[in-house]
Amino acid sequence: MRTNTEATLESTRPLNPTPAVAPQKGRHRKPMAASKTPSSKASKRKRALVISVIVILILGVLAIGAYFVKQLIDSKYFFCTSSVTFIPIEKACDGVKDCSRGEDETSCVSHFKANTTFPVRLATAQHVLQVYRSSLGWRSVCSDDWTEQHTQTACTQLGYTYKPRSTSIPVTTLSSSLKVGPFAAVKPGTTATLIHQATVDLSVCKSGSVVSLSCSDCGVVGIQDRIVGGADAYIETWPWQVSLQEAGQHTCGGSLVSPRWVVTAAHCFSGSRKALTHWRVVSGRTYLTLTGGSYVDKIIVNGDYNAASNDYDIALMRLSSPITVGEYQRPVCLPPDAFNLAAGSSMAVTGWGSLHEDGKVSSSLQMAEVPLIDRATCSSSTEYGNMITPRMICAGFPQGGVDACQGDSGGPLVYLTSSKWNLVGVVSWGVGCARKEKPGVYSNVESMLNWIYTVIEKNP
């Protein structure tokens, strides 16, 4: 007889129970909830995309804001790393140590006078090698006993060196001033000695020829093709052109003369523009950009620079690390001594300066062709009178219309010879821009080669 409990259990059992099936590994029961529709998935993706875009925009705005805040701070203050404080920019490089460790007075523009003659140079358009001795002056170096090692040594003394080579030029083909000497020749076994110390004096060259040097690939460009009255230019045509930027603002132009040195104008560093940390050199760009660029570890102004007369208006900047020479970045050649360019010679001036007097700087590199003006004309009473010194040259048209302008200062005036561009002048000053009988005035690079070579040698 079954109990009531047993009867209850039996009544709940199916008559034909289905055998239990053991669950298989990896198989799961499908959820009973309805699957999401395609429209709801697309809506979620759209929301996620919008949120991502908003986040990116916010981050971009914050980054741009932070950049401009930094530029504003840099233009007004100097940061003391030792004490983590700011001081007014006017107090940097003023001769008083305002930072706890004095770093505000250690990273500043310096001044240098060349008191001695740099003893090696290239002369005339033939690039004749000459050495200097105080008792005899300049002497052309004969080809006698000259070797490839001497070529390397001489070019190294002259700065930027890349695949240097030498040729022999017959004395009879030299200019009249060089034909008669005096001459010098290297002593055997002096390949590693500085060239001016390795020579002896001669009255004539036994070989009948002198040494001509080509030290580098400076001034060479792959193609030839606003400045007021100018035209658009491309950096690959003028790869030595750089933008000098102080506190994030284009201030002056400059010219690469080696992978690490830039020639520019002394007046670019007037006023409070003396802290090295605020300067950057941007190279290899056709369009003016205010980001990136090379740091600077030396700015050396010619010690004879006179702000009142603009005389000796030249300076050198040393980059913290050398640029990589290529199609868009390449040094221009320093000119030989006694280049003797004739009045009317066509030259090129480049930069991002104003397109008209008192205008804004150009966003794109500009180029203009200007003729050299003879010194007598530029020094006449109708032009600049006695304001023109031997350290200056003039270029432009009597009627005006084409000229360098504000923002071009420090930039290059170049002349093409033997497929190489030579740095003839540095944009310095003028009355207005492109005015009639008021041409551009440029620092005469040839007259200050001694200073340039001496600075580079003393700051390797």
The single residue of 212, 214, 294, 409 carrying the catalytic annotation is: 409
Active site residue 358: no
Counted residue by residue, the chain has a size of: 460
Q: Tell me the CA end-to-end span of the chain in Å, nearest whole number.
A: 117
Burial of 249 (0-12, 13-18, 19+ CB in 10 A): middle
Read off the amino acid at residue 315.
Answer: A
The single residue of 74, 144, 313, 403 carrying the catalytic annotation is: 313
Q: How far apart are CA 305 and CA 227, in angstroms?
A: 26
According to DSSP, residue 348 is labeled E
Give the bridge partners for 417, in sequence order: 420
Residue 445 has phi, psi (to 5 degrees) of: -65, -40
Read off the amino acid at residue 4.
Answer: N
Q: How far apart are CA 155 and CA 24, in angstroms?
A: 84
Cβ neighbour number for residue 232 with a 10 Å cutoff:
12
16-26 burial: b if 16+ Cβ within 10 Å, else e:
eeeeeeeeeee
Asked if 89 contacts 75 with a C-beta cutoff of 8 angstroms, the reply is: yes
Active site residue 144: no
Residues 397, 423, 368: CA angle, nearest 5 degrees = 35
The single residue of 127, 196, 250, 267 carrying the catalytic annotation is: 267
Closest Cα partner for 395 from 377, 370, 414, 432?
A: 370
Burial of 2 (0-12, 13-18, 19+ CB in 10 A): exposed
Q: How far apart are CA 326 and CA 216, in angstroms?
A: 13
Closest Cα partner for 317 from 274, 263, 246?
A: 263
Active site residue 356: no
3-state secondary structure of 454: helix
Closest Cα partner for 183 from 213, 139, 133?
A: 139
Catalytic residues: 267, 313, 409
